[in-house]
Structure 1
Amino acid sequence: MSAILQVTDLSVAYGQIEAVKGIDLALNEGEITALVGANGAGKSTALLAISGLLKATRGQVLFDGTDLTTLAPHQIVGRGVVQVAEGRAILTTLTVSENLALGTYARKDKSGITSDLDWVYTLFPVLKNRRDGLAGNLSGGEQQMLAIGRALMAKPRVLLLDEPSMGLAPLMVQEIFRILKEINKTGLTILLVEQNVRQALRIAQRGYVLETGKVVLTGSGQDLLDDPKVVEAYLGG
């Protein structure tokens, strides 16, 4: 299995404090990779560095032979690496369809945009039903669906998701993870950052456990679910 995105010795600091300390990650094409760990482990920081929203202090993020750490965030999106932000970051005063249209700002293929919009509305029927309503009137779960839909409208090759289950009711969490599996079946590569360790590892082919900025365990999603250290630390073992 070939890695579509390779992170090598990635470090990120906030002033003098190193939040990510030389991590290595490989995302295999067409797989879901989970990056899990406790709050404050450095997961979101790593994701922000991959998408160019934070500057790495050292290391490489190779995608299609290009080091993404040398590019601006909009250039990284243009290459096909697209992030769904923690907290959703939708524009509440715009309609659902206007939010989705924002995802297409770098695209010129009108017929592709139309078919992708149809696909997003198939994945998230609630968005189709409420496409002319304000995004601010959606529930938290529906806003998360909108944030994912908007990212899909950018036609990503790698989708980065930062805590998609945060603040959602258990039934909505199940639904979001079910939809992520559906999206992955189309061949889209996903990097999933999650505090909900059990749910994330259940759908991931590969997982990395981050503690205080370092990768401490790696393996298949199932192997990590079965690992006594993971069970004890994260699954209420």
Structure 2
Amino acid sequence: MSQTAHTTAATGKREILKVQDLAVSYGHIEAVKGISLSLNEGEITALVGANGAGKSTALLAISGLVKAARGQVLFNGKDLIQLSPHRIVEGGVAQVAEGRATLTTLTIAENLALGAYTRKDKAEIAKDLAWVYSLFPVLKQRADGLAGNLSGGEQQMLAIGRALMTRPKVLLLDEPSMGLAPLIIQEIFRIVQEINKTGMTILLVEQNVRQALRIAQRGYVLETGKIVLEDTGANLLGNPKVVEAYLGG
């Protein structure tokens, strides 16, 4: 069976992205120590753990923004590990960076237009823009305003919207709840679920373990650069080790 047609026996769902033995080093320090994980098409997969566990580094390596020391990142059977970041985006894998990274001196509309810079399908771009505005009405209301004038939660919405304008098959979300008020966090997670309902595959990296595992079909727990637990989101929420380490149990 080819890798593009590979399905996982447990769920019958197609595996769209597979990370094998991924390692990343900063100098002599190995931040990610040979991790392996897989994403099933149309599912939310959570990669959770404490600050400094290596979650963001793993995501940066998947999207080509940091160089892996070894390993493979197979997207529909094709290894992304040697591709430049813009080629990975063009291929269908987009990342929403930690800290949002909106272009504050540009308008909201200009930020969103930049998300579609590799695309030529104007009618489809217009459809996707309408969809983004339906997900985030505040962005439509303030489309001509500067991104720098948005609140933290609104900037997170803009960052997600800009990534969606690339029309990804896999969306990588790096700490989308970081620094946000509880009500805004609830709204961001609700919207992540709405995006997933369209069939989009999502890899969610989060310190907010409870929220992430609540909405994820599968989850992985990362500690000091190694995956130490792997299960369904529901099972991990009930796992005594997860409860003790991350959920105040």
TM-score band w.r.t. shorter chain: over 0.9
Rounded to whole Å, the distance in 2 between the matches of 1:44 and 1:230 is 20
2:26 to 8, 11, 14: 14
Match of 2:4 in 1: none
1:81 to 88, 93, 96: 93
Partner deviation per Cα, 1:14-38 (whole Å, 9 max, x = no partner) = 0110000010010000000000000
1:5 to 2, 7, 17: 17
Partner deviation per Cα, 1:96-144 (whole Å, 9 max, x = no partner) = 0000000000001000000000000000000000000000000000000
Partner deviation per Cα, 1:149-173 (whole Å, 9 max, x = no partner) = 0000000000000000000000000
Partner deviation per Cα, 1:76-105 (whole Å, 9 max, x = no partner) = 001000000000000001000000000000
Match of 1:202 in 2: 214
What displacement does 1:6 show? 0.2
Match of 1:223 in 2: 235
Rounded to whole Å, the distance in 2 between the matches of 1:46 and 1:92 is 27
- Say whether residues 1:93 and 2:105 are aligned partners: yes
Q: Structure 1: which amino acid aligns with 2:227?
A: V
Q: Structure 1: which amino acid aligns with 2:180?
A: L
- C-alpha RMSD of matched pairs (Å): 0.4
Q: Structure 1: which amino acid aligns with 2:77?
A: G
Give 4+ residue runs of structure 1 displaced > 2 Å after superposition. none
What displacement does 1:2 show? 1.7
Rounded to whole Å, the distance in 1 between the matches of 2:16 and 2:202 is 11
Match of 2:8 in 1: none
Partner deviation per Cα, 1:162-201 (whole Å, 9 max, x = no partner) = 0000000000000000000000000000000000000000
Rounded to whole Å, the distance in 2 between the matches of 1:119 and 1:23 is 35
Match of 2:245 in 1: 233
Per the normalisation by structure 1, the TM-score is: 1.00
Rounded to whole Å, the distance in 2 between the matches of 1:136 and 1:77 is 25
Q: Structure 1: which amino acid aligns with 2:208?
A: N
Gaps of 5+ in 2: 1-12
1:39 to 33, 51, 56: 51
Percent of aligned pairs sharing the same letter: 79
Per the normalisation by structure 2, the TM-score is: 0.95
